[in-house]
Amino acid sequence: MRKKVIAANWKMNGTLEQANSLLDAFASAPLTVNESKIAVFAVPAPYLMLAKEKLGGNPYLQVAAQNCYSKKSGAYTGEISVEILKSIGIDYVVLGHSERREYFSESNAFLADKVNICLEFGITPIFCCGEPLEIREAETQNTFVAKQLEESLFHLSAEEISKIIIAYEPIWAIGTGKTASNQQAQEMHESIRSVLAAKYGAKVANEIPILYGGSVKASSAVELFAQPDVDGGLVGGASLIADEFIKIINA
């Protein structure tokens, strides 16, 4: 049975005081996490060590970087390597978020390089994919997302891709307050799994967690996560509100 994952993406938000308060709240809350359901906190880079310290007492609360570079080391001022992340005990990293693709022009090929180096160092990529509004309106979202997967992930072996977490994020629903309907989310997750199955077989495809990201709220989480191919969420704004995110985890 594939793992359930609830991932918080704080993005570029939170002062040190706010980060301390949030992490303390999550560390002390009664969370329904276990071997089959984990919570991952993608915090701004300056807070990675703090988050490890605050959450380290619970093996089912993990910390993720929001990005990494495609090289092991070198003269890349301002970037963070997976070697550095691994050295401080980080086991997850978010790759290919729509904001990275749009604002920093990250291509599918560039993301493939990032995926490769993460796996080389034993770090689990949370690989984001998803379509903008014009693609959804043209009803070509399945083809668009399949291309993202094929160009960034399909060079991997079956063993390697089994170590990936995929996060589907309809770009038109990120930070807009809009949310794909449960049916829309399920349809795309099912499509992603079918694309994976066509390449790697049903057994491999059925073991890969696929998360939904796009204005996830506590009020909609239970029904959303009940969809057969929705294995959790990549949560933005709501993860900055302790009570709200705790409810989402426990959903």
Q: Which homologous superfamily does the CATH classification assign to the domain defined by 4-250?
A: Aldolase class I (3.20.20.70)
Reported as a pLDDT band with limits 50, 70 and 90, residue 214 is confident
Whole-prediction pTM: 0.96
Instruction: Give, as one character, the DSSP assignment of residue 175.
Output: S
pLDDT at 178 over 90: no
pLDDT at residue 93 in the model: 98
**Percent of the chain as helix, strand, coil, to the nearest 5:** 45, 15, 35
Q: In this predicted structure, what is the pLDDT of residue 174?
A: 73
| Residue 64 backbone dihedrals phi, psi, to 5 degrees | -125, 150
The whole-number pLDDT of residue 175 equals 66
Task: Parse the chain into domains and list their residue ranges.
Answer: 4-250
Of residues 17, 14, 12, 26, the one with CA closest to residue 61: 26
Is it the case that residue 177 has pLDDT exceeding 70? no
pLDDT digits (tens, 9 = 90+) for 119-140: 999 999 999 999 998 999 899 9
Q: Which residue has the tokens 């359901």?
A: 37
Hey, which residues are catalytic here? 97, 169
Mean pLDDT for the chain? 96
> What's the rounded Cα separation, in Å, for the pair 185 and 168?
8
Rounded to the nearest 10°, the torsion over CA 74, 78, 83, 84 is 130
pLDDT score, position 163: 98
